[in-house]
Structure 1
Amino acid sequence: MISVELARSLRDAGLRWHPETGDRFVIDKPEVDDDVYTVSEMTVERHDHPTGTFLGFNGTTEWALDSVSAAESLWLPREDQLRELLGPSFAGLTRESGTDDRTVWTVTAVIAGEDRSFAAVDPAISYAQALAAYITAALE
């Protein structure tokens, strides 16, 4: 799973979220962004209103709020979602053993006409780094 900081950099680069069942998120406020929630019909439901999208907490005893706006939430996209968002820019994923016997995952993406590589110990992080670079380049 990507970090809250990396998710913020994706959002700040321009990634927009339209909550769907199965999406993970945190409440984007200091001291409450440690708890990860999942959009689900049973516990956290998406409610669309003319004023915006809200995430309603159903029967959640540990949470003091009934709902929170999607704008106050921070999406933590999964590896498959990040790969899909890269679209045709995605060129490949490789797995290698690092020098300290840790696996390193490298995503290669075509960004602004160049092959660029992004390596991390978690493939989701590699995909997120590539997507952030892709979005930033597309908006320049």
Structure 2
Amino acid sequence: MITVELAKTLRDAGLRWHPATGDRFVIDKPGVDDDVYTVSEMTVERHDHPSGTILGFNGTTEWALDSVTADESLWLPREDQLRELLGPAFVGLTRMASGDRVVHTVTATIDGVDRTFAAADPAVAYGEALAAYITHALA
């Protein structure tokens, strides 16, 4: 899973979230961004209103919460979502193991040049590649 810091980098680069079932998120406020929630019909429901999307909390798990707006939440995209968002820029993923250490490298074509992004977690490598891709595309 990507870090909150990388999720903020992606959001700040221009990635927009349209909550869907299965999406993970944190509440984007200091002191409460440690708990990861998942959008689902049972626990956290998406409610679309003309004024914006509200994420409503149901049940006892989130007893202290009623709802938060999507703008108050920070999406933590999954590995498959990050790969999908890279689209045609995605070239490949490699895995290299050396003793106890494993490094995943994502290759993406950005501005006609293949660039590599390495991390222990493949989702982080995808996230870093996507952040670079979005930043370049919007520059």
- TM score, norm. by length of structure 1: 0.96
Give the Å deviation of 1:101.
Answer: 2.8
Any runs of at least 4 consecutive aligned residues in structure 1 with deviations exceeding 4 A, and if so which? none
Q: What CA distance in whole angstroms lies between the structure 2 residues aligned with 1:78 and 1:61? A: 22
Q: Which residue number in structure 1 is paired with residue 133 of structure 2?
A: 134
Give the Å deviation of 1:63.
Answer: 3.8
Q: What CA distance in whole angstroms lies between the structure 2 residues aligned with 1:64 and 1:46? A: 18
Match of 2:83, as an amino acid?
R
Describe the SS at the equivalent of 1:137. Answer: helix
Match of 2:115, as an amino acid?
R
Q: What CA distance in whole angstroms lies between the structure 2 residues aligned with 1:43 and 1:83? A: 27
Superposed CA offset, 1:21-76 (max 9, x none): 00000000000000000000000000000110000001135442210000000000
Overall identity of the aligned pairs, in %: 80
Q: Does residue 110 in structure 1 map to residue 109 in structure 2?
A: yes
Q: What CA distance in whole angstroms lies between the structure 2 residues aligned with 1:23 and 1:65? A: 18
Q: What CA distance in whole angstroms lies between the structure 2 residues aligned with 1:91 and 1:61? A: 41
Matches within 5 A, 1:33-112: 33-98=33-98, 101-112=100-111
Unaligned residue ranges in structure 2 (runs of 5+): none
Match of 1:86, as an amino acid?
L
Aligned length: 139
Q: What CA distance in whole angstroms lies between the structure 2 residues aligned with 1:63 and 1:112? A: 48
Unaligned residue ranges in structure 1 (runs of 5+): none
Superposed CA offset, 1:73-130 (max 9, x none): 00000000000000000000000024x6311000000001100000000000000000
Q: What CA distance in whole angstroms lies between the structure 2 residues aligned with 1:101 and 1:61? A: 37
- TM score, norm. by length of structure 2: 0.97
State the Cα RMSD in Å: 1.0
